[in-house]
Amino acid sequence: MSKDDKALALRQHQYLSELGAIPPEYTAWLQKLNPKKLQRINQSVSRFKHGLHAVAPLSCLGPSRCPFLAACPLQERDSTGDLITADLKDYPIGLQCVLESEYMVCKIHEYAEHLRVDPANPVEMSIVNELALLDLHKNRALLVLAHGDTAGDGRDFLVRDESIKGFSENGTPLTEVQTKLHPVADYINSLEKRRDKWFDKLMQTRKAQADWAAKMGGNQTTSKVLEEIQVLREFIDSVRSSQADNEEGIGLDEDWQDD
């Protein structure tokens, strides 16, 4: 290890020691806690270390308050297609949504595998978590378009906006109804653009690794990173191509005009 590397390691150790220092009054408060509560705190902190998937999924609110009940895998339907509500004990109330929790873990694994991200690399894993989070939000938005929002709008990508434009001589409200593109459709486009930015950041990270390896004379490392960059480029191209096909299929383009 060079002199500069040793100095950097020393500064990092000092910083982390100060960052992890717990004030005495906080330590005293922790010691007063019930052992079960203290265990829950430690388990929660441990889950947060794994990234956004520990906090990103919705919390289960039960069948009476869930906005996405129609997509819940715990639900059953009768012969007419109506939902059959299960017993409350069958729902993980207060815990992570079963659907979103599994979906988030699946997407993190998928991105890490296809982008060849080392789980020990905190920079690239943070990008993987962000990409998975964007997919999770997109999935929520698609559920709105599939089942409708609280007002029942969105299934045809449209929302009906009724507003009062004035009053008649006898005081009767004069309303106007407009049909517009549902905000969720715009939100999906926004998520896709944000995902492209994270892909670009990952590309920049890989390029920086290749430049550094070349500077340090690591030809084998440089070749490996360049290979990873090529894989990443091919993956991004396939994602963007799929995105373009989907947007063309549902007509979500910037030239869409309100009715």
Contacts 24+ apart (CB under 8 A), 151-158: 153/182, 154/182, 154/184, 157/181, 157/182, 157/185, 157/250, 157/251, 157/252, 158/182
pLDDT score of 144: 92
C-alpha–C-alpha distance, residues 185 and 135, integer Å:
14
**For residue 91, with 0-12 CB atoms within 10 Å meaning exposed, 13-18 middle and 19 or more buried, which class applies?**
buried
Q: Is residue 28 part of a domain?
A: no
Query: Does 66 reside within a domain?
Result: yes
- Which residues, listed in sequence order, are joined to residue 178 by a DSSP beta bridge? 161
Question: Distance (Å, rounded) from C-alpha 18 to C-alpha 145?
Answer: 48
Q: Give strand pairing partners of 160.
A: 179
State residue 54's pLDDT score.
62
Question: In the block, which residue shows the tokens 């990103």?
Answer: 56
103, part of any domain? yes
Tokens of 63: 């069948």
Q: Is residue 78 part of a domain?
A: yes
Let me know if residue 100 belongs to a domain. Answer: yes
- What is the pLDDT, as a whole number, of residue 253? 46
| Domain span holding position 95 | 46-250
Residue 171 lies in a domain: yes
CA-to-CA distance for 239 and 135, rounded, in angstroms?
Answer: 12
Q: Which residues of the chain register pLDDT less than 50? A: 222, 250-259
By three-state DSSP, how is residue 181 classified?
Answer: strand
Q: Is 39 domain-assigned?
A: no
Q: Which residues contact 101 (CB under 8 A, 6 or more apart)?
A: 53, 57
**CA 47 to CA 54: how far, in whole Å?**
6
Residue 257: predicted pLDDT? 43
Which pLDDT value is given to residue 256? 42
Residue 4 maps to a domain = no
Count of domains in the chain? 1
What are the phi and psi torsion angles at 159 (to 5°)? -135, 140
- Integer Cα distance of 201 and 186 in angstroms: 23
pLDDT value, residue 140: 93
Query: What's the pLDDT at 178?
Result: 83
- Record the pTM: 0.65
